[in-house]
Amino acid sequence: MDNLKAFLVFLESEKKYSRHTIYSYKKDLVDFIKFCELNHVSNISKAKYTLIRNFIVFLSKKGLKIRSINRKISSLNSFYDFLIKISLIKINPLENHKSLKSQKLLIEPFSQKEIETVIENIDTSNFSGLRNQTIIEIFYQTGIRLSELINLDINDIDFNQNRIKVLGKRNKERIIPILDSLSSILKRYIIERNKLIKSNNENLFVTKNEKKLYPSLVYRVVNSEFKKFSKKSRVSPHVLRHSFASLMINSGADINVVKEILGHESLAATQEYTKIKLPKIKDTYRDAHPRSKN
């Protein structure tokens, strides 16, 4: 367990992973540790590939989806690479492992009409309704991740410049421009939020009990509101993020600008991507987003 603790510290201090990501790694490794103990292996650093393969079979029989199994094995692979880095082992037992192949699920984005129908029909006569409408509106207008939305503070919103500061993956900050319509919605929400909050809580989105929002609550908000008007099988904050990107690109936005707004790290190294500057992002965003045309 000492090696596991050292690995988790490494992910936090060196890799700058979020708490949510570190928790996922920990859970994956603890699951394997328990499997090893059932198979009389007390130290996972000494596990052979045969045992890991049996773990994969075990997970499959439990009904885990291929994507979830691949994630757990990826966590194990990172752990063994870390053990090599600190000279605890010489060979990664997963060095020749190939991920299980799965059919890629296609995400069907919401249409502009679907999203705006949902927003227009939310009862905002109470705090929860106003908060829920604001949550969906900010997903719709910025495409931010669920974790980024939850971690927004009031001070992250710059109403003078009409932009939001977002803390993304690996604690990387980025600036997202916002339209006047979202700025007005946020101002209205914050007024009502501040009437409710009596403490020094700086979280933008809170519960009626003055607590920071949590992922399952946001999932429920999005799911419950969209199920009323959409027949799509997949309904989640991520589908809203996907919808934002689709709507922007379909409206003529430069795909590289969209990916910078979304904070996609995979394109950060490309020359064209790194040349994009905030003024261009602002202009493209305001010209392309459906809300800017209202």
pLDDT digit string, tens, across residues 43-99: 888 899 999 999 999 999 998 989 899 999 999 999 999 999 999 999 999 999 988
How far apart, in Å, are the Cα atoms of 275 and each of 157, 283, 288? 25, 15, 20
pLDDT score for 103: 62
Residue 279 — pLDDT band, cuts 50, 70, 90?
Answer: low
pLDDT digit string, tens, across residues 145-197: 999 999 999 999 999 999 999 998 888 899 999 999 999 999 999 999 999 88
d(CA 22, CA 82): 14
pLDDT score for 272: 33
pLDDT digit string, tens, across residues 26-40: 999 999 999 999 999
pLDDT score for 280: 59
Q: Which CATH class is domain 112-293?
A: mainly alpha
pLDDT score for 116: 95
- Start-end of CATH 1.10.150 domains in the chain: 2-85
d(CA 98, CA 73): 10
Over residues 22-27, mean pLDDT = 93
Of the ranges 114-118, 149-153, 289-293, which one carries the lowest mean pLDDT score?
A: 289-293
The predicted model scores a pTM of 0.64
Q: Quote the percentage of the chain above a pLDDT of 70.
A: 91
How far apart, in Å, are the Cα atoms of 65 and each of 72, 155, 160, 191, 215? 11, 40, 47, 44, 21
pLDDT above 50 (res 275): no
Cβ atoms 8, 27 nearer than 8 A: no
Q: How many CA atoms lie within 13 A of 255 on its CB side?
A: 4
- Start-end of CATH 1.10.443.10 domains in the chain: 112-293
pLDDT score for 114: 95
Burial classification of residue 75, based on how many CB atoms lie within 10 Å of its CB (0-12 exposed, 13-18 middle, 19 or more buried): buried
CA angle 227, 186, 250 (to 5 degrees): 55
Burial classification of residue 82, based on how many CB atoms lie within 10 Å of its CB (0-12 exposed, 13-18 middle, 19 or more buried): buried
d(CA 236, CA 228): 14
pLDDT score for 268: 37
Query: Active-site positions?
Result: 145, 169, 238, 241, 264, 273
pLDDT score for 179: 95
Q: Quote the percentage of the chain above a pLDDT of 90.
A: 63
For the chain, what is the mean pLDDT?
88
Fold held by 2-85: DNA polymerase; domain 1 (1.10.150)
